[in-house]
Amino acid sequence: RYSIPGFGRRKSWLAPTTLLAAAIYLLLTLIEPTLGWLNALIALLVVRSVATSVLDVAVDAYTVEAYARAPQTGASVVALAEQIAPILATSLLMLVYTRFGWDAAVIAAVAALVACNLPALLRREDAPPTAPLERPSIVKAVTRRDSPFILIAVPLLTFAIYFPTVTDSVFLVDRGFSLDQIGLIIGLGQGGGFLVGLAAAPWLMGGPRRARVLPFAAAAAPLFPFALSLSSQAGRVELAMAAYFTAALLVSPFIVSVNARRIEWADRGQAATDYALQSAASRVGYSAAGAGAGFSAAAFGWPGHYALAACLLLAGAALLAGVSMWIRRLNETADAGGSAEERSLDHASG
């Protein structure tokens, strides 16, 4: 609703929230983490959370509008960002922290935050869609005919994606790997697999048949850490890197398919509202995956946990196919009904 004239609707929020978040992170390096500074730390973290939340909503809307005509490509870009960013935080920033300390790690994170948002700020923003008759509304977002399917499917799909990987670092520690070795396994092994798989996924899923079938390959991804949990050679870094590379490669088409559907399901007339609502639902699935994976590993052991993860990914791929088909038919039926009503009104007025 509010923006700087001539600068862009989304960039008007991207720029100040990026700078505010960066400034707060830098301030945190100057404050001692003691009880005397507790109130200041809490205040800064609250402001930081608000700034990054607004930044996240602006990025969501920017993404939907930029890739509305190419959802598979947009989904690949989104998935690369979502998967590579945590890996960089886990591996590269861990290496910076172990060698240079906390302040250097925070400064590196601030530099990454600014660098990652700079291309969006320099790029000319797409023209906004035709102004809707109604203002963007959260009520409209949750009362659309397909909203119940979307808001139930998104957290379940997110749960299936993150359930196998959220405990990766704990699993590798249990296998006896050091922090530096985990950085290599996650950063180069898993990160390399995601980089190749997510970048190639739009090309691999170029045909309708392949787009329907390839997401089911994700079910095989947890079988590689499953084999690693049973292997007597589990302490070998190169074997772990190969296992995580292959697992990331196999799950990539499913991740891209989920993100492509999310872009398609967002109404361009209120992209920020719709996609942000989906992101909130996605966080529910992510949090549940963290809690569920910890319980699963404790209850069933690592082999049982990864076997369960394979079943969940298979169910997730089937859910995505079913919900996508149902929403498509629902919208086609509604469009057909709308066209018939328009023809009836035209006939009556004639």
Q: What are the pLDDT digits (tens) for 152-189?
A: 999 999 999 999 989 988 999 888 888 788 878 888 88
Q: What are the pLDDT digits (tens) for 123-151?
A: 777 666 555 545 667 777 788 888 888 88
CA distances to 24, 82, 270 from 15, rounded to whole Å, are 14, 20, 20
Q: What are the pLDDT digits (tens) for 198-246?
A: 888 888 777 667 777 888 888 899 888 888 887 766 568 888 999 999 9
Give the residue-averaged pLDDT of 14-27. Answer: 90
Phi, psi angle pair for 134, to nearest 5°? -115, 150
Which residues does 342 contact at the CB level (< 8 Å), separation at least 6?
A: none
What single letter denotes the amino acid at residue 141? A
| Tokens encoding 326 | 């149902």
Number of residues in the chain:
350
Select from 193, 195, 188, 197 the least CA-distant residue to 237: 188
Q: What percent of the chain has pLDDT above 90?
A: 19
| 233 vs 2 pLDDT, higher one | 2
3 state DSSP class of 230: helix
Q: Is 301 left (phi over 0), alpha (psi -120 to 50) or beta?
A: left
Which residues does 206 contact at the CB level (< 8 Å), separation at least 6?
A: none
| 9 vs 27 pLDDT, higher one | 27
Residue 290 in contact with residue 124, Cβ under 8 Å?
no
